[in-house]
Structure 1
Amino acid sequence: MLFRHLLPSLFFVCLVSRSPLLYGQSASDRLVTDATITDTTFVDLSDYSDAFIYDMKYATEDNFLKSKVYDCAACLLRLKTVKALVNANENFIKKGYRIKIFDCYRPLDIQKKMWTIVPNPKYVANPAKGSIHNRGGAVDITLVTLDGQEVEMGTSFDFFGQEAAHGYPFLDKKIMDNRKLLKKIMKKNGFVPFDSEWWHYSLSNASKDAVANTKWKCN
């Protein structure tokens, strides 16, 4: 997989491609054969599990920006984030669900592009500071049933009203239970929820990693 270090001031990271995991194989099993890869290395999630569903919104115009900001869809994350996410997904599968992914690592150049379109910190993190997405430690997700039907969460992804908050009380019990299940298992696997966005989870301590601008190759 191709990597480019475009900004000299940014921490250098590389992308590593591996043969995919067998369905249900844990990330810990894969790490036995990937012992030479550090936890902060950027990898493609699809090389480590085939059990996720993808709907990468920013590779389309179906997002709040109404603009396609990725040239193509990919889910890159630091290896430690991948390990935790695969383990979380295995927990969900045991309960009859799978994770559906809307966004993963976001290069700093993309963050700048988003800021140019919507320069408002209420909706887009200021690239001058960078976000956990820019550090490879955050994912935007929901749950689907094993046959691919989205679980009701009360709002769409990237809905910025108060209804998207974890603490919003005026939702049907089933919706609140769905959000609680998502939060419970993600927290169990080392992720921290974002109070105002039910879909956003960051790996604990991921804020300590460097902002990156590594890009992936589009076919």
Structure 2
Amino acid sequence: MKYFFYSIVLLSFLSCKNGEKVEKEETSNIVEKKGEKKIIQDEKTESPQVHLKSFDGLADTTFIRLADYSADFAYDMRYATENNFLKAKVYDCSECYTRVKTAKALIAANKDFMEKGVKIKFYDCYRPNSVQYKMWKIVPNPQYVANPVKGSIHNKGGAVDITLVDMDGEELNMGTDFDFFGKRAYHDNMDLPQEILDNRKLLKETMEKHGFWSIRTEWWHYNLSSASNEKIADFKWDCE
């Protein structure tokens, strides 16, 4: 009789534990139905949340890391590699910094691009003036590299080198690679396939709408008009 009593208690205990296990599994999946919509969340499969920073309290001239303020851009920072016209790595690590006012204009422009199914991809952003000296030492030709004594708008945190990619990360056809120095990269070269002309037009008109201007010989280069008078900077970011 004693053994029979213990068996009953043990079975009851196991039934309770199994009930608790089922309840936990069910509450780890929250399914909300609204019409035909289903929202499913699972702790095991949920993507990590990106915690973005706010511009509140920052001066327009402050340097910021763009990825901290928007997760909607793509990056291929060429000067942090040897895949550039210098054939040399001149940045210690790959980062995109700009001044706050440049970042705000870029985020606004990117919002317009994303409504059309594309987004900005960066090749270069703010460039410390010491890096400009490195580039000048490799290619001391003002046709390709701005003289570091006068500096570039890149050194002021107001210039970016960009292209457009679709939402899968595929680059739109712009006719040449970044830093191609030849007539095919000129904005006023109309002797190109219509697809290329349309892609460049989309890039140029949208950037101009948000306060940027281009240079005739480089389809990828854009300067923020209000940053032209900023001082040349040599702020350097930390590499992890």
- TM-score, normalised via structure 2 length: 0.78
Alignment equivalent of 2:168, drawn from 147, 155, 160: 147
SS of the aligned residue for 2:228 comes to: helix
Structure 1 residue aligned with 2:103:
82
Cα shift readout 1:124-165 (whole Å, capped 9, x = no counterpart): 000010000000000000000011110000010000001101
Q: Paired residues, what number?
A: 191
Structure 2: distance between partners of 1:58 and 1:42: 19
In structure 2, what is the Cα distance between the partners aligned to 1:41 and 1:206?
12
| Structure number with higher helix proportion | 2
Q: Which SS does the other structure have where 1:198 is aligned?
A: strand
Equivalent residue, structure 1, for 2:181: 160
Q: Distance in 2 between matches of 1:182 and 1:123?
A: 22
Deviations 1:27-86 (A, max 9, x none): xxx44xx1x210000000001100000000000000000000000011000000000001
Pairwise CA distance, 1:205: 2.7
User: Who is 1:180 aligned against?
Assistant: 201
Q: CA deviation at 1:169?
A: 1.4
In our comparison, the structure showing a higher alpha carbon Rg is: 2
Secondary structure of 1:208's aligned partner: coil
Return the alpha-carbon distance in structure 2 between the equivalents of residues 50 and 146 of structure 1: 13
Q: How does 1:1-219 map to 2 (within 5 A)?
A: 19-20=51-52, 30-31=54-55, 34=56, 36-219=57-240
In 2, Cα distance between the equivalents of 1:48 and 1:156?
28
Distance 2:76 2:108 in 1: 20
TM-score (norm 1): 0.85
Distance 1:73 1:105 in 2: 11
* Percentage of identical aligned residues: 59
Deviation at 1:194?
A: 1.2
Greater than 3 Å deviation, 4+ residue runs: none
- CA distance in 2 between partners of 1:77 and 1:205 (Å): 13
Taking the aligned partners of 1:185 and 1:205, their CA distance within structure 2 comes to 17
In structure 1, the partner of 2:6 is none
Q: What does the per-residue CA deviation read over 1:69-115, in whole Å, with 9 as the maximum and x for residues that have no partner?
A: 00001100000000000110110000000100000000000000000
Query: What value does the CA root-mean-square deviation take over the aligned residues?
Result: 1.2
Unaligned runs of 5+ in 2: 1-50
- Shift of residue 185 of structure 1? 0.5
Task: Show structure 1 runs of 5+ residues with no match.
Answer: 1-18, 22-29
